[in-house]
Amino acid sequence: MKDLKAFENILGVTFKDQAIFTQALTHRSYLNENPSPTGGQAEHNERLEFLGDAVLELVITEYIYEKFPAKPEGELTALRASLVNSNMLGAVAAGLDFNNFLLLSRGEARDVGRARQYILANAFEAVAGAIYLDQGYGAVRDFIIKILAPKISEILEKKLYRDAKSLFQEEAQERAGVTPAYQVSKEWGPDHDKHFIVGVYLGSDLVAEGEGASKQEAQQQAAEAALKIKNWE
């Protein structure tokens, strides 16, 4: 069993209910290889992820609404999206050493590619959900703000809040006179864990591909890559 006390020290959170903390770190694949020794139904973190996703969005929405009273709704929406997307959450979770405390199958543990980023992002959401259930809204708000608020200055400075898909469309229409088209080239995984690869085309030319847990996310990744390839940033 992982030393969760060490992880609590990293997170700055002490759980009253250790079982819910363990559940937040348990990937579905782990239970396939490690069934409950008592024969009971052990739980993975997907329900906590579902809850944590909503809690995270509320906390960030409330925070940036209060912090930026002059920003219109569209800019706030873009800023929120840049703080709670899988790229940001996966990077934050990796920085907090989630990799060393996740309970994964042997196969998932070996995969450190793009799929791991989604697992890390989902685990961060699950931990947020677990904190909310264990200690309430105030505690989870403090945790999320402590972790994510410092990222805001970097996002604003580098304009990471922009909508890559809209920007690529504007640039393509202005520079090439073409409206980009997006096409799914591959999808896999069960309904609860879908992955998509989407290509962005100018006419019949494939410019770039992106991968995501939804078609929309994959399109954004493809547009971001296309902006770099075309040097239209």
Q: For residue 171, say whether it is annotated as part of any ligand binding site.
A: no
On whether the CB atoms of residues 69 and 63 are closer than 8 A, the answer is no
Separation of alpha carbons 233 and 229, rounded Å: 9
Separation of alpha carbons 50 and 95, rounded Å: 22
CB atoms within 10 A of CB 32: 12
Supply 49's token pair.
Answer: 């992820």
On whether the CB atoms of residues 165 and 214 are closer than 8 A, the answer is no
On whether the CB atoms of residues 140 and 156 are closer than 8 A, the answer is no
Q: For residue 49, say whether it is annotated as part of any ligand binding site.
A: yes
Separation of alpha carbons 13 and 142, rounded Å: 10
DSSP 26: B
On whether the CB atoms of residues 123 and 93 are closer than 8 A, the answer is yes
Is 111 known to be catalytic?
Answer: no
Separation of alpha carbons 208 and 80, rounded Å: 25
Separation of alpha carbons 53 and 50, rounded Å: 5
According to DSSP, the β-strands at 195-202 and 181-188 are antiparallel
Catalytic residue among 125, 134, 211, 217: 125
Catalytic residue among 17, 33, 43, 53: 53
Is 125 known to be catalytic?
Answer: yes
Q: For residue 125, say whether it is annotated as part of any ligand binding site.
A: yes
Q: Which residue numbers belong to the known binding site?
A: 49, 122, 125
Q: Which residue numbers belong to the known binding site for Mg(2+)?
A: 49, 122, 125
Q: Which residues are marked as active site? A: 53, 125
